[in-house]
């Protein structure tokens, strides 16, 4: 069970990182795409979440499947406690973050705080999450 909850937590964060460029919304900065991703996760808006993920990410299809399952099984609340652009180049950026995820309803889930970084790349004129790396997970319950 613990492995399942840990896997779900890692997947949630990973979801906040892979991208699709089908949205007309513009993500003009690395921070804007991370904030949009969080907004769409809280709204359980799958197409919105996927619009923040880079279509060239190797995890794009898996991310879409996992997020859809996540939305079916849980109602979670996501907040960003800390976000910092640690590197920004013309076509790529690194954003460090600390995110808290709490269960509002659904099956077994451990509230958690994760720290990591998003690798964000340009997709045309928009920034998109390409991959997310998790450095630490702290369980809150």
- pLDDT tens for 25-67 read 789 999 999 999 999 999 999 999 999 999 999 999 999 999 9
Provide the CATH number for the domain around residue 124.
3.10.450.50
pLDDT of residue 125: 94
* pLDDT of amino acid 22: 44
pLDDT 10s digits, 87-134: 999 999 999 999 999 999 999 999 999 999 999 999 999 999 999 999
58-73 per-position pLDDT tens digit: 999 999 999 999 999 9
Reply yes or no on whether the pLDDT at 19 is more than 50: no
**Residue 34 main-chain phi, psi, to 5 deg:** -65, -45
52 to each of 37, 68, 129, 141, how far by Cα in Å? 6, 15, 6, 30
Predicted TM-score of the model (pTM) = 0.83
Domain residues for 58? 2-139
Q: Residue 136 and residue 37: Cα distance in Å, rounded?
A: 20
Count of domains for the chain = 1
Please give the pLDDT value at position 11: 66
């Amino acid at each position: 069970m613990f492995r399942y909850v840990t896997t779900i937590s890692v997947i949630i964060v990973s979801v906040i990182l892979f991208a699709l460029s089908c949205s007309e919304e513009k993500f003009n900065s690395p921070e804007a795409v991370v904030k949009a991703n969080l907004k769409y996760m809280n709204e359980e808006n799958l197409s919105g979440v996927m619009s923040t993920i880079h279509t060239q990410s190797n995890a794009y299809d898996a991310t879409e499947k996992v997020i859809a399952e996540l939305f079916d099984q849980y109602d979670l609340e996501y907040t960003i406690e800390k976000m910092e652009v640690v590197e920004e180049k013309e076509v790529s950026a690194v954003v460090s973050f600390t995110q808290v995820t709490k269960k509002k309803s659904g099956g077994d889930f451990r509230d958690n705080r994760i720290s990591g970084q998003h690798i964000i790349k340009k997709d045309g004129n928009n920034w998109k999450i390409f991959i997310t790396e998790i450095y630490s997970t702290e369980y809150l319950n």
